[in-house]
Amino acid sequence: MKTDIFSKCFEFYHQLETVKKTEKYFYFRTISSIQGPEVNINGRRFIMLGSNNYLGLTEDQRVKEAAIKAIKKYGTGCAGSRLLNGTIDLHEALEAQIAEFFGKEATVVFATGMQTNLGCIQALVTQDCVAILDKFDHASIIDGCRLASGCFKRYPHNDMQSLERLLQCEPEKPKLIIVDGVFSMEGDLTNLPAIVDLSRKYGARIMLDDAHGIGVMGKNGRGTAEHFGLEQETDIIMGTFSKSLATIGGFIAAQKEVIEYVKHVGRALLFSASLAPPLAAAASMAFKIIETEPERRKKLWDNTQFWLEGLKRLGFDTGYSTTPIVPVIIGDVDKTFEMCRYLEENGVFVSPVVPPAVPPGRALLRTSVMATHSQKQLEKALDAFNLAGRKAGII
């Protein structure tokens, strides 16, 4: 019955079961091992090229030991929100560490990256304000804008002329430009220098979501703003712990007045239990390793260059990627799933990304490398891509 609120669930389930029978379903795959350069799925070993574990720190013994030590001292959770009973000294020490790392006055830590964007954007983009987004921004940014009482507008990906036109609209309203540093599907960078120039010209503030840039970009791993030499010109740096930092959680770093405001107004922080102690301890240790072991980042970039050049040499379209996120753009949805199946048969794990997650006609396989991949593993994966691409008629 259409009057049953569950009717859409039943219809979707039927469609999903049909898709699963066609060997075009590559989601919710169950991994039974550490998410390293190789993983175990249903008793088979796969070269993992679909992870955000860029520096390989999820399997670092120091990170694991820091989490275990925190559990022994604090237990497994804080049993409350940061506002009430859920703030512990471990949170405050981590926040001070992050603020110093980025050269900002203050930081606030959230339980997840998603909550970080929801809470920060909802708090800042009030009824009289406008948020301006790149169309390729992460879904959490869009959802944060939907929760906010202000309005939001979007410009075509990295189109600075369109951004300027939006900034010229409604000049009397406060504006926040919110943009990814490294775009999570295409692997390219935002044009931060141009955004900084435009923000100054039109009196806007900048919030940089650098989930995929921290630990990866910049001489010291401080991300996209450091890469461009624009750390002080970037008003808010947002990051997550679920990529290079080997755990889960998120944060914003900014001037102290902004942090105190978000801490007391951001609903995703106020009405959620705080970051669990072992996660905070793991993130803290990961930051220390990023600061003291630049050789990890060098190895990551060596692997990135090897992988990107290898795919191009085989004839694949890698778009505008300049980072460890390397898309293999197929275009056709069916061909994308076909490629994914061939790669799975040859022991390579990749992630198929199709519309609406990407624009129509731009279906792709999202690949990403880690510092801990060996050249032998990447060579084996390239051989698999060569076979799969020829079988699918892509190359």
Which residues participate in catalysis according to the annotation? 184, 212, 243
Task: Give the pair of three-digit tokens for residue 295.
Answer: 């050789």
Tokens 């755990």 belong to 247
Task: Give the pair of three-digit tokens for residue 14.
Answer: 């039927």
Q: In sequence order, what DSSP letters do the residues of 96-130 get, joined into one string?
A: HHHHHHHT-SEEEEESSHHHHHHHHHHHHS-TT-E
Rounded distance, CA 131 to CA 167, Å? 10
Nearest to 242 by CA among 201, 273, 274, 283: 283
Q: In sequence order, what DSSP letters do the residues of 49-85 get, joined into one string?
A: -S---TT-GGG-HHHHHHHHHHHHHH-S---SBTTTT
Neighbours of 68 (CB within 10 A): 12
**DSSP-assigned beta bridge partners for residue 188:** none
Q: Is 38 helix (H, G, I), strand (E, B) or coil?
A: strand
Spatial neighbors of 309 by CB under 8 A, at least 6 apart, are: none
Sheet holding 363-368, edge to edge: 325-331, 363-368, 351-353
Q: Is 10 helix (H, G, I), strand (E, B) or coil?
A: helix
Rounded distance, CA 54 to CA 56, Å? 6
Can you say whether the dihedral through the CA atoms of 307, 308, 312, 317 is positive or negative?
positive
The conformation of residue 30, written as its DSSP 8-state character, comes to P
* Cis previous bond, 174, omega within 30: no
